[in-house]
């Protein structure tokens, strides 16, 4: 199985990056479609409309410091695509 952290796994990371505007209710199906091309161990946990899967990966969902930062600054600071690319 592919590991997202492997340096040479750019194609899997790109494949799992759903296009902007992709309907949230269809994310589970999207992850499974990617699996047919790029075998992986990513597991759908729950539908979250307030954020991204990064919160699960880094265990930030209930972190009070993260929640304080994410809820301030005009909601422009959050663990999303730009955060992961830094």
DSSP 25-86: GGHHHHHHHHHHHS-B--------SSS-THHHHTT-TT-HHHHHHHTSGGGT--SSHHHHH-
End-to-end CA distance of the chain: 26
**Residue 49 banded pLDDT, cuts 50, 70, 90:** low
* 42 and 1 both lie in a single domain: yes
Domain span holding position 16: 1-47
pLDDT tens digit string along 2-14? 555 556 678 888 8
Which has the minimum average pLDDT: 20-29, 60-69, 70-79? 70-79
Rounded to the nearest integer, the mean pLDDT of the chain is: 76
**Residue 18 banded pLDDT, cuts 50, 70, 90:** confident
* 19 and 30 both lie in a single domain: yes
Higher pLDDT, 14 or 50: 14
Q: How many domains does the chain have?
A: 2
The rounded Cα 61 to chain-centroid distance in angstroms is 12
Tell me how far CA of residue 31 lies from CA of 3, 9, 12, 27, in angstroms.
Answer: 14, 16, 11, 6
């Amino acid at each position: 199985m592919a590991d997202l952290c492997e340096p040479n796994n750019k194609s899997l990371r790109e494949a799992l990056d759903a296009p902007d505007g992709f309907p949230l209710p269809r994310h589970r199906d999207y992850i499974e479609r990617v699996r047919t091309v790029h075998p992986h161990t990513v597991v759908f946990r729950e539908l979250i409309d307030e954020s991204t899967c990064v919160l699960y990966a880094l265990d930030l969902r209930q972190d009070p410091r993260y929640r304080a930062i994410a809820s301030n600054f005009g909601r422009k600071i959050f663990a999303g695509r730009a955060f992961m690319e830094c």
